[in-house]
Structure 1
């Protein structure tokens, strides 16, 4: 199904990652185990690092276990991974480990086949003539993980394409409209000229409630495929979304 927008009506596109730009299976089958195997060593050897210590304090607070030692924190993190809980401290610690794994060449991010080319096209059109868009990322994964994801793609760094990164810490939970309002305020783009792409209905609803435009990206084989995208415009891939100029040619 093709979804078209007037090229002059959208200034920013905000991208979800898991299930939208990239396969959930890669995250679950590759990234989750990679971090889980390394939580213990991270907590034991680097627990005094400010970012790690702050995340551990948040784990204890969320779990209601202020006295949890490193071993118990590791157990809690593992349980949250099993439950696919989008807890901010879990995402922070995963992000630290993933970023380091990407930098060492042990990990390379995944994108669906059409995504990188489409993003380059949308960004390349952003030449100041009113036909382009700025690209942002909003994911439950930490900003550190997002940056690593776009730096270490199969086609090299894509960082020049992205104007900003948002997660549950600097924006808020993804199914709350106020999180999208916070992003609008941060990027300085009118909500009605901001387009959000996601595979999850709750996120799409929250973005729409904040005044954003939305497209549900519904890819066969993804966990939320059967749930559909409600009343939101739907596309099976990024190349089904286009920005068409309505200006007459002179």
Structure 2
């Protein structure tokens, strides 16, 4: 990092979503109730779908209740939702519901005003962009496809979640992402509002910047000893001799 400010010479930026690119309040106040109201129907009507069945099996395993029926599974999902638990089967089922909600036009995602222009500028400059969120890959794809500014998926080179990468506060997850992208850790920058995630990325040799936006859950707590920015506009990326 340059002493002059938040300037990084990297090849790629990896983005958290909640609290970083987008308001946590939108997820909690809009998306969570939307999924809660549809868990029961999804489990009852499509329990035989492979992805739903796999998620149900994971719920039974995590609760040590191999005989849990759809009612019990729904109760667990709602309890995890209340706890904001980053459980993979919860995120999988939410992703299915949200993807369909976005496709129907029931939902449109949220991005902070500074985010999309900066992502477009970085992409144009040759910086590769990835997403690493606790939300499922399906939910991430729907989020970027159905933004207020249209389909943004062309900006993103890859999507990672707790299933294909691992838990967000474990360094091994960041090693998996670096290996999958083929980019060395020292050439990767992770942006997140959660200090535990920033710690894990840095422990793997990544650059990490904490995003602190007023009103977000981690704003008061801060980001520990990590560099921090209030908006993406405060971050400059240099790569191949250019900067943006």
What band does the TM-score fall into relative to the shorter chain? over 0.9
Q: Any gaps of 5 or more consecutive residues in structure 1?
A: 127-132
Deviation (angstroms), 1:3? 3.9
Q: Which residue of 2 aligns with 1:30?
A: 30
Q: Which residue of 1 aligns with 2:6?
A: 4
Q: Which residue of 2 aligns with 1:199?
A: 193
Q: Any gaps of 5 or more consecutive residues in structure 2?
A: none
1:144 paired with 2:116, answer no
- Give TM-score, length-normalised by structure 1: 0.93
**Moved beyond 2 Å, runs of 4+:** 2-6, 243-248
Tell me the SS of whatever aligns to 1:173. Answer: coil
Asked if 2 retains the 8 angstrom alpha-carbon contact of 1:139 and 1:167, the reply is yes
Query: Aligned partners of 1:221 and 1:117: how far apart in 2?
Result: 22
Q: Which residue of 2 aligns with 1:16?
A: 16
Deviation (angstroms), 1:231? 1.2
Which residue, 156, 161, 164 being the options, matches 2:150? 156
Query: Aligned partners of 1:221 and 1:83: how far apart in 2?
Result: 19
Q: Which residue of 2 aligns with 1:83?
A: 83
Q: Which residue of 1 aligns with 2:184?
A: 190
Query: Aligned partners of 1:167 and 1:45: how far apart in 2?
Result: 26
Query: Aligned partners of 2:238 and 2:171: how far apart in 1?
Result: 28
Structure 1 pair 223/44, CA: closer, same or farther in 2 (3 Å)? same
Q: Which residue of 1 aligns with 2:227?
A: 233
Deviation (angstroms), 1:247? 5.2
Query: Aligned partners of 1:136 and 1:151: how far apart in 2?
Result: 14
Tell me the SS of whatever aligns to 1:95. Answer: helix
Q: Which residue of 1 aligns with 2:52?
A: 52
| 1:56-67 paired onto structure 2 within 5 Å | 56-67=56-67
